Amino acid sequence: MIEVCDLDKSFGGLHAVDQLSFCVEAGQIYAVIGPNGAGKTTLFNLMTGLYIPDSGQILLEGENIVGLPPEQLAQKGLCRTFQNLQICMNMTALENVMLGRHRHLQAGFLPSLLRLPSLRRSERACRERAAALMDFVGCGNYLRTEASAMPYGALKRLEIARALASEPKVILLDEPAAGLNGAETAALEQLIADIAAQGVTVVLVEHDMKLVMSISQRLLVLDYGRKLAEGNPDEIRKNPDVIAAYLGA
């Protein structure tokens, strides 16, 4: 599904991502872990077109996507959430999710200006679809709430609903459990499993080891932008390099 080959990105003297290669299979839950500053979010920004790599390739279904802006990647079925929430606080929760359906709406300019029946129908369908997604992620009771009035945990789920609304083939979740309590994290784990069960490939950056180990099929451990280890949860748990990096031994 996604193939990253020899990816390289530096900021000044800092080598944030260093000759990194890995491969995510379709339908997998693939986790990227590593200490703070290991380059996880940089990697996500590279994969979603927010940063341009210095060198290397990123293949989405065999096609090189380096250099494409995020909006075009979204059209190709790649969507993400953010570590520090990116919610449109000037809209309602439902409108945020409806925004996610943007690429599926072919509202012409004139129908929009004149609010023609075709537009009304497509907007109604869009609203129902978005409401169903909000139910799916568990913020069904915030439909009409202004996003700015929602609690943090619900906003995290709202962002996932918005990403799902774009019907991605691959969804990248940047620290979805950060700031959540135990119960919320458990619900999130179930949600990620449900998303993967629908055939969506999930790539996640996460610090919550319990969550990562129980949910992901494959893990990539980064340290100083380099691949420290890659494998299934059991392999990673036993890997001496990983233990050293995490315990500082």
Partner 1 sequence: MRHMHSRWGSQISFLSLALVLVALPFVMQNDFHFDIATQIAIIAATVVGLNLLVGFAGQVSLGHAAFFAIGAYSSAILTSRYGFTPLPAMLAGAVGVAVLALILGKPILRLKGHYLSMATLGLGIIIAIIINNEGWLTGGPDGIPVPPLSVFGMELSIFEQYEIAGYTLSGTLLWYILAAGLLLVAVWIAQNLIDSPIGRALRAVHGSEVAARVVGVDTTRYKALVFVISAVYASVMGSFFAHYSGFITPQIASFQHSIELITMVVLGGMASTYGVILGAALLLLLPQLLTDFQDYEMMMFGLILMLTMIFMPKGLLPTFQQILRRALRRSPKTDP
Q: Which of 86, 80, 87 is nearest to 43 (CA)?
A: 80
* Token reading at 62: 């065999």
CB–CB of 81/159 below 8 Å? yes
Q: What's the chain's length in residues?
A: 249
* Count of residues touching partner 1 (by CB under 8 A): 42
* Residue 66 binds partner 1, judged by CB under 8 A: no
Instruction: Return the half-sphere exposure (C-beta side, CA atoms, 13 A cut-off) of residue 30.
Output: 22
Residues 150-169 interacting with partner 1 (rule: CB under 8 A): 159, 162-163, 165-166
Of 64 and 72, CB closest to partner 1:
72
Closest distance of CB 174 from partner 1, Å: 11
110-146 residues labelled b (16+ CB within 10 A) or e (exposed) = eeeeeeeeebeebeeebbebbbebbebbbbeebeebe
Of 70 and 140, CB closest to partner 1:
70
Q: Which of 41, 42, 48, 216 binds partner 1 (CB under 8 A)?
A: 48
Per-residue mark of binding to partner 1, 95-134 (x: CB under 8 A) = x--xxx-xx-x-x-x-xxxxx---x---x--x--------
Measure Cα distances from 7 to 17, 43, 140, 191, 223 in Å. 7, 9, 40, 30, 14
Q: Which of 55, 75, 190, 198 binds partner 1 (CB under 8 A)?
A: 75
Of 86 and 239, CB closest to partner 1:
86
Site of interaction with partner 1 (CB under 8 A): 48, 50, 69-71, 73-75, 79-80, 82, 86-92, 95, 98-100, 102-103, 105, 107, 109, 111-115, 119, 123, 126, 144, 146, 159, 162-163, 165-166
